[in-house]
Structure 1
Amino acid sequence: MVKCPRCGYENSASSKYCDNCAYLLTDQNGNRLVQNKRTSSWNIGIFKKIVIVLGIVVIALLLFSFIYNNTQPSREDSLNVITDNGSLNHSSSYPYTAVIKYDGSWFAKTGDPNYLSSITGNGQKRETLDCASWEHVYIMAQKEDNGEGNLTIQLLKNGNVVAQNSTTNTTGSIEIHYNN
C-alpha cells in the first residue's frame, strides 16, 4: 500500500495516481514521488476545510455582533427626549406665547412651521409655543362657528406683543408668520 502525500489515502502498490485525489504518485520512470515536507499542503479533505472556513466566518460574525451591540447607545440614550418637571422657566426657555381671542369656538395651529401643534377653544386662550427664540413662528386661527365677532391673534415674545392680526369675516381665517 502507498499512502498519498497529499490527502493521506491508502492506494494500492501499483497505483500511479491517488484513487482519492488524483495526485501523481510515480514519475515517468515508475519511481515513487516523495513530497517535500516543507511544501506539503493540509492533509485534510475538502469537507473539513469547508467546515473550518465556515467556523471561522461564524466566529467572526459573532464577534462583530458582540462588539456592535456593546458599542451602541441604549434606547434611552439614543432618544432625544426632554421632559419638564415644572422646574423650567418657560419665559426664557420658550419665549413665545400665542394669544387667541374670540367669543365663539375656534381652531388654531401654532409653533414652528415644520412642527405645528393643533389647539381648539372658546373665548380667550394663551398658549406657550414650543419654539426657541431663533426659530420661525407660525400661528393660524379660524372661526368654527361662522360668528360675526372679532377673531384676534397675538404673538408675544417674553410678554411683549411682536405681531398681531384680526378679522371679523364669518368664515375668518388669519395667520401670523414671524421671523426673528
Structure 2
Amino acid sequence: MVKCPRCGYENSSTAVYCDNCTYLLSDSDGNKIKNTKRESSWNMSIGKKIVIVLGIIVIAFLLFSFVYNSTQPSNQDSLNIVSDDGSNHQTSSYPYKAVIQYGGSWYAEMGDPNYLVKESGYGNKRFTLDCAAWERVSLDVQKQDYGEGELKVQLLRNGEVVAENSTTQSNGRIVINYNY
C-alpha cells in the first residue's frame, strides 16, 4: 500500500496516481515518489474544495432569491385595478371602490392620478382601486353611447360614500378628484 502525500489516501502498491485526488504517486520510470506529506496544508483534494465553494455559492443564491421574492408584491397586488365581482380576495389595504351606474356603455380612467387604469364597460360596475388609504384618487368616467339616461359615479372609502356626482347629458362626463 502506498499512502498519497497530498491527501493521505491508502492506494494499492501498483497505483501510479492516487485514486482519491489523482496525485502522481510514481514517476515515468515507475519509481515511487517519496512520501512527503505537507503538514501545514489543508489536506483535501482540489475537487472537494471546488464542490464546497460551489455549494456555498448555490446556498447564498437560493437565500438571496428567497429574500428577494418574499419582498416583491404579488401579481394581484401589483395590478392597479381589480374587478369586484366576488372572485378576487379584497384586502383592507385598498379601501377605495368606484361604483359606476349607467344603463349604457361608458369609458373610465380610475385610480392613483399618476397610474390611471383604463376600463370600458356596459351597465353598472363596481371596482376596487389600487390606492392606499393615504393616496389621492381620481375618477374620470364618460358616456360612450350618447344616451339620455343618468350616469352616476360614486367613490367609496371603506364602504362609505366620500364623493359622488351624476349627469344626464348625452355626452356626459364626470371627473372626481379626491384627497384624503
Q: TM-score, normalised by structure 1?
A: 0.54
> How far apart are residue 77 of structure 1 and its match?
2.5
Alignment of 1:66-85 (within 5 A): 77=68, 80-84=72-76
CA distance in 2, matches of 1:170, 1:89: 36
Equivalent AA in structure 2 for residue 99 of structure 1:
V
How far apart, CA to CA, are the structure 1 residues paired with 2:153 and 2:141?
7
Structure 1 residue 110: Cα displacement: 0.5
> Which residue in the other structure is 1:50 paired with?
none
Aligned residue number for residue 159 of structure 2: 159
Shift of residue 80, structure 1, vs aligned partner: 3.6
Question: What is the SS of the residue equivalent to 2:116?
Answer: strand
> CA RMSD, aligned part only?
3.1
- Take 1:124 and 1:91, find their aligned partners in 2: how far apart are those partners? 22
Q: 5+ residue gaps in structure 2?
A: 1-60, 78-85
For normalisation by structure 2, the TM-score amounts to: 0.54
How far apart in 1 are the matches of 2:130 and 2:92? 12
Other-structure match for 1:90: 90
Letter in 1 for 2:100: I
Q: Take 2:108 and 2:125, find their aligned partners in 1: how far apart are those partners? A: 11
* Structure 2 equivalent of residue 144 of structure 1: 144
Q: Deviations over 1:28-54 (max 9, x none)?
A: xxxxxxxxxxxxxxxxxxxxxxxxxxx
Asked whether the equivalents of residues 94 and 129 of structure 1 are also in contact (C-alpha less than 8 Å), the reply is yes
- What corresponds to 2:129 in structure 1? 129
Q: Is the 8 A contact 1:91 1:158 kept in 2?
A: no
Distance across 2 between alignment mates of 1:91 and 1:178: 21
Offset at residue 122 of structure 1 (A): 1.0
Aligned-residue offset at 1:83: 3.5
What is the one-letter code of the residue matched to 2:131? Answer: C
Q: Unpaired segments of 5 or more residues in structure 1? A: 1-69
Alignment correspondent of 2:120 = 120
Secondary structure of the residue aligned to 1:145 is: coil
Local SS of the residue matching 1:115: coil
* Matching of residues 1-180 of structure 1 within 5 Å: 77=68, 80-84=72-76, 90-180=90-180
CA distance in 2, matches of 1:89, 1:81: 15
Could you tell me how far 1:123 is from its partner in structure 2? Answer: 1.0
Partner-residue secondary structure (3-state), 1:134? coil
Corresponding residue for residue 45 of structure 1 = none
**Letter of the structure 2 residue corresponding to residue 100 of structure 1:** I
Q: Distance in 1 between matches of 2:142 and 2:89?
A: 30
Following the alignment from structure 2 to structure 1, what is the Cα–Cα distance between the partners of residues 132 and 175? 19
